[in-house]
Amino acid sequence: RAAERVVRRVLLGEPPEALPPVLPLAERVPAPAAATLVRS
């Protein structure tokens, strides 16, 4: 499910706030490594 959030954010260009909070852990992490790796 985390992958779905990343795919939507990158391909559809949706901001993280537009996605449903499926993983509360992602919101607790100050700098999610997944988002950093995908964006870079």
More confident residue, 8 or 3: 3
Q: Give the CA distances from residue 32 to residues 8, 14, 29, in Å, rounded to whole numbers and listed in that order.
A: 16, 16, 6
Question: Which residues span the domain enclosing 14?
Answer: 2-39
Dihedral angle over CA of 20, 24, 27, 29, nearest 10: -150
Domain count, the chain: 1
The arithmetic mean of pLDDT across residues 8-30, rounded, is 59
* Averaged pLDDT, 2-24: 64
> Average per-residue pLDDT in the chain?
61
Q: What is the token pair recorded at 28?
A: 């607790």
- First-to-last alpha carbon distance for the chain, in angstroms, is 21
Specify whether the CB–CB gap between 21 and 27 falls below 8 A: yes
Please, which pLDDT band fits residue 6 given cuts at 50, 70 and 90? Answer: confident
